[in-house]
């Protein structure tokens, strides 16, 4: 266990308390709203179905807060009751065959709930969701298709694959494991480049299963490195390595981490796309930084080389410190989010330079990992 310098620990604890205050504020101001991003710092929901992939992250933060509150305290009761209230309505979505995002929804909620209370019915929800996600497997191409079409694979799906591996482990179903690992191998082959950068989307010929080209929706270009996609890959391959212990996945997670580290500015907060044109590169994505910090804090425990492990840990701490010192919403009392400077969709003008719910969640997860 590496200890934080005491002033760093204090910065992190204050930021964690600020995060709790902002989540309470949201619960009280907009009860039962699951917003995706803020508009001028105020939580808003666009309502389109394809934007609902992030509904688990608000209750996910409540599970983090419930876990670390003083046992039996009013605070623990408050967070537990709200976590249950916001998590339960998500259950029917375990049957959704049209989304590739069931891991985002259920690993942040039912998985945390099960880990806290060990009620078997909660585990069943995760297993059901994992089994349904596996039905999106395209046999010829060897990938889980994205929600946009049968010919498409997204880098984000690497964050969802672990729910299939969880279902495989809990049920002993080797077919599920095979699907998850084949998806991860295909993603590694077609979306992770030799220098560790990543593409957002891969397009296949559905008749033959042949990979055709790299493309993007939220990145700058098909051949660029969208920073959030890179961090989904870093975190996703790390988790797949945790389940599979296949060293190729560790190597891939490290390649993504090393690309992030060598291409980010000194404070560790990346531009929204590493290849965005210079005039547009001042637009950052703090959510990518938060995901990266959370992913590095998992990866640092897994690498055999202790110097590398220390580099990943200290980079995560540096990123978190920058987020806490320069990007918290508390510098603006009207701001309702925790982290400023996140980006959802530049091309559609959605959630640009705003708070975004997954950024909030992975920031809290990273703080959880350094504080406890």
Residue 76 beta carbon to ligand GLY: minimum distance, rounded to whole angstroms: 31
Q: Which two tokens stand for residue 263?
A: 């291409």
Instruction: Give the one residue of 22, 43, 156, 339 binding ligand GLY; rule: CB under 6 A.
Output: 156
Instruction: Give the one residue of 12, 34, 53, 361 binding ligand GLY; rule: CB under 6 A.
Output: 53
3-state helix, strand, coil in the chain (%, to 5): 60, 10, 30
CB 342 within 8 A of CB 287: yes
145 interacts with ligand GLY by CB under 6 A: no
Residue 39 beta carbon to ligand GLY: minimum distance, rounded to whole angstroms: 17
Residue 265 beta carbon to ligand GLY: minimum distance, rounded to whole angstroms: 21
Residue 53 beta carbon to ligand GLY: minimum distance, rounded to whole angstroms: 5
Instruction: Give the one residue of 228, 327, 340, 369 binding ligand GLY; rule: CB under 6 A.
Output: 228
DSSP state of 347: T
Q: Which two tokens stand for residue 175?
A: 């077919």
Give residue number: closest CB to ligand GLY. Answer: 156
Residue 117 beta carbon to ligand GLY: minimum distance, rounded to whole angstroms: 29
Residue 104 beta carbon to ligand GLY: minimum distance, rounded to whole angstroms: 8
**Cα–Cα distance measured from residue 34 to residue 41, given in angstroms and rounded to the nearest whole number:** 15
Residues 6+ apart with CB under 8 A from 294: 235, 316, 362, 363, 365, 366, 369
Residue 45 beta carbon to ligand GLY: minimum distance, rounded to whole angstroms: 15
Of 227 and 264, the one with the shorter C-beta distance to ligand GLY is: 227
Residues 6+ apart with CB under 8 A from 272: 226, 227, 228, 283, 284, 285, 288, 343, 346
Q: Which residue has the tokens 């995560």?
A: 316
At 96 the three-state DSSP class reads coil
Of 47 and 120, the one with the shorter C-beta distance to ligand GLY is: 47
Of 53 and 80, the one with the shorter C-beta distance to ligand GLY is: 53
Residue 229 beta carbon to ligand GLY: minimum distance, rounded to whole angstroms: 7
Q: Which two tokens stand for residue 350?
A: 């959605």
Of 15 and 218, the one with the shorter C-beta distance to ligand GLY is: 218
Whole-Å CA distances, 72 to 11, 69, 79, 151, 292 = 27, 8, 11, 51, 33
Number of neighbours of residue 257 by Cβ within 10 angstroms: 29
**Cα–Cα distance measured from residue 56 to residue 78, given in angstroms and rounded to the nearest whole number:** 18
Of 114 and 237, the one with the shorter C-beta distance to ligand GLY is: 237
Residue 20 beta carbon to ligand GLY: minimum distance, rounded to whole angstroms: 25
Number of residues that bind ligand GLY (CB under 6 A): 4
Per-residue contact flags (x/-) with ligand GLY for residues 90 to 119, judged by CB under 6 A: ------------------------------
SS3 readout for 97-118: CCCCCHHHHHHCCHHHHHHHHC
Residues lying near ligand GLY in the complex (CB under 6 A) are found at 53, 156, 218, 228
């Amino acid at each position: 266990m590496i200890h934080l310098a005491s002033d760093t620990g204090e910065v992190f604890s204050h930021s964690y308390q600020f995060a709790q205050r902002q989540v309470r504020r949201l619960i009280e101001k907009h009860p039962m709203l699951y917003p995706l991003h803020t508009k001028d710092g105020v939580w808003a929901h666009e309502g389109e179905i394809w934007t609902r992939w992030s509904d688990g992250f608000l209750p996910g933060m409540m599970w983090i807060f419930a876990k670390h509150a003083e046992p039996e305290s009013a605070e623990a009761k408050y967070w537990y009751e709200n976590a249950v209230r916001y998590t339960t309505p998500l259950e029917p979505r375990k049957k959704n065959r049209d989304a590739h995002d069931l891991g985002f929804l259920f690993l942040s909620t039912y998985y945390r709930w099960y880990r806290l209370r060990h009620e078997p019915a909660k585990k069943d929800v995760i297993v059901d969701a994992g089994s349904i996600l596996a039905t999106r497997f395209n046999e010829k191409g060897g990938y889980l298709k994205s929600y946009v079409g049968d010919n498409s694979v997204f880098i984000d799906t690497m964050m969802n694959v672990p729910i299939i591996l969880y279902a495989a482990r809990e049920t002993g179903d080797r077919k599920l494991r095979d699907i998850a690992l084949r998806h991860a191998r295909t993603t590694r082959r077609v979306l992770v480049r030799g220098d560790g950068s990543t593409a957002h989307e891969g397009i296949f010929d559905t008749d033959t299963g042949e990979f055709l080209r790299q493309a993007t929706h939220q990145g700058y270009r098909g051949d660029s490195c969208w920073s959030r996609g890179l961090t989904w890959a870093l975190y996703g391959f790390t988790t797949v390595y945790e389940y599979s212990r296949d060293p190729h996945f560790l190597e891939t997670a490290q390649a993504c981490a090393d690309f992030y580290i060598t291409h980010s500015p000194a404070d560790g907060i990346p531009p929204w796309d590493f290849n965005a044109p210079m005039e547009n590169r001042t637009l950052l994505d703090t959510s990518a930084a938060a995901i990266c910090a959370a992913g590095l804090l998992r990866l640092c425990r897994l690498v055999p080389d202790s110097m590398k492990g220390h580099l990943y840990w200290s980079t995560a701490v540096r990123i978190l410190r920058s987020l806490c010192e320069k990007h918290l919403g508390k510098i603006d009392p009207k701001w309702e989010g925790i982290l400023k400077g996140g980006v959802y969709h530049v091309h559609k003008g959605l959630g640009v330079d705003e708070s975004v719910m997954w950024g909030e969640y992975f920031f809290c997860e990273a703080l959880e990992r350094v504080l406890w």
